[in-house]
Every structure is written in structure tokens, then in C-alpha cells.
Amino acid sequence: MENKYQDFYELPKAWQGFLQACQSCKECELFQTRNQVVVFRGNLEANLMLIGEGPGAEEDRLGKPFVGRSGKLLDSLLTAQEFTENDYHICNIVKCRPPGNRAPTPDEANACKKLLAAQFSLVKPKIIVLIGATAYKYFTNTNSPISQVRGQWIKKGDYHIMPTFHPAYLLRNPKKRIDMWQDFVMVREKMEDLDLIREKSKPFQMDEWA
Ligand code: URA
């Protein structure tokens, strides 16, 4: 557990119930092949929620989202922009690994929706970043290419949604790093404008992104 909670039994009861529901979930076939249910890392009460596609092999092994190659690239971007794990809550559209790193099916995403909705109402984020085409498709129920919708705010109720590329795509297309960097500049600036995060200590410098 991160932050002020040292272990499961210190968590608010609602979180305990939610995590138990995740661990025992058998709503889709993915429970048969998972090693671990991957729920989140970061802050339970973050203003910023980052939502990816689903756990890969490393995430399934370690029980945390975005801890493989993609996660390391994402973390280095977040660090370069002075986000710490205390500033965000990171999770996925599905909590169990789709075998062979395929994208989750509509049935799997749908089966996991109740848990993501519960997580959403516990965290109560103000800003949501949809990481990659799959997260965008399932979260918004629309099918536009991510290259067309990234970098533009979507306002829904009292929260703001920013779709962006998936870091796995950047690993294959390094020239697109500038786009994802700029999307996160917009996120950071929006959070600062809304007083959801402290001000950055120095100007944005993309060469700090390892
Ligand atoms: N890719 C994702 O979309 N989520 C993860 O947790 C890891 C890789």
C-alpha cells in the first residue's frame, strides 16, 4: 500500500471491500489464466487517474500496473514533469492479463467495467488520462483513431479527460514522444490552473525525459 496506509487493514472499509471484490472476481475468462489481479499503484485519493489497457506479463507477475518496459517509459515522463506517485492513481481497463498481450475483448472490458466504476468513485479523480487507443475506446465508447483525439480535452461532468498515446506505441515510434510529452504538459498545466497540484519548480524541459 502506498502513502498513509501501511497495510490492507488500515484502509477505509470501502477500499477493503473493493480490493476483495477485485481479488475474487471471476466475471470473465481472464481469471483462469491470471497470476495476479492488478488493481492500481499510486495514491488512493489522487486528483489524477491514469488508465491503461490491461496488465502485461510483468504486471501479472508483480501485481502492479505499468511496471514493464512501457511503464518505465511512462514513469520517466512523469518524473521529468515532476509528478510523483503521490500525484496519481494508475490502473487499467481490465485488471487481469489478456493472454499473449492481446487487447482486451469488448466482453472482458465490459465485465471489468463495474470494478473500474467502483474504483473511480472511490478515488474521485478530477483529471483522467486515457493511455492509448484501447483505453480511449472502452472508456468513451467511441472508436476514433487515437492519433485524431489525443491532445484534446474532453469535458465530462466535473472532470476533464485527456486521451494520449500508449508508451508501447512510442517504443516503436520514438518520433511520437513529443506528442505524448505535450499531452502531459497540458495535463500538468490544467492541474496547476485548477490548484490540483503544486507548481513545477522549473520550466518544462523535454530533454529531461530519459
Ligand atoms: N500496458 C498497459 O496498458 N497497462 C499496463 O499495466 C502495462 C502495460
User: What predicted TM-score, i.e. pTM, was given to this entire model?
Assistant: 0.97
Task: Quick: pLDDT tens for 54-107.
Answer: 999 999 999 999 999 999 999 999 999 999 999 999 999 999 999 998 999 999
* Segment holding 139, helix H or strand E: helix 133-140
Ligand 1 pocket mutation, candidates 53, 165, 169, 180, criterion most atoms within 8 A of CB: 53
| Site residues for ligand 1, CB cut-off 6 Å | 52-56, 59, 65-66, 68, 70-71, 92
pLDDT of res. 4? 73
Query: How is the chain split into domains, by residue range?
Result: 40-195
Q: Give the atom of ligand 1 at the shortest distance from the alpha carbon of 90.
A: 6
SS3 per residue for 102-123 = CCCCHHHHHHHHHHHHHHHHHH
pLDDT band at 30 (very low <50, low <70, confident <90, very high): very high
pLDDT band at 6 (very low <50, low <70, confident <90, very high): confident
User: CA 43, 47, 49 angle in degrees (round to 5)?
Assistant: 70
**Which CATH number applies to 40-195?**
3.40.470.10
Instruction: Check pLDDT > 70 for residue 40.
Output: yes
Average of per-residue pLDDT values in the chain: 96
Instruction: Check pLDDT > 60 for residue 13.
Output: yes
Give the distance (Å) from ligand 1 centre to CA of residue 51. Answer: 9
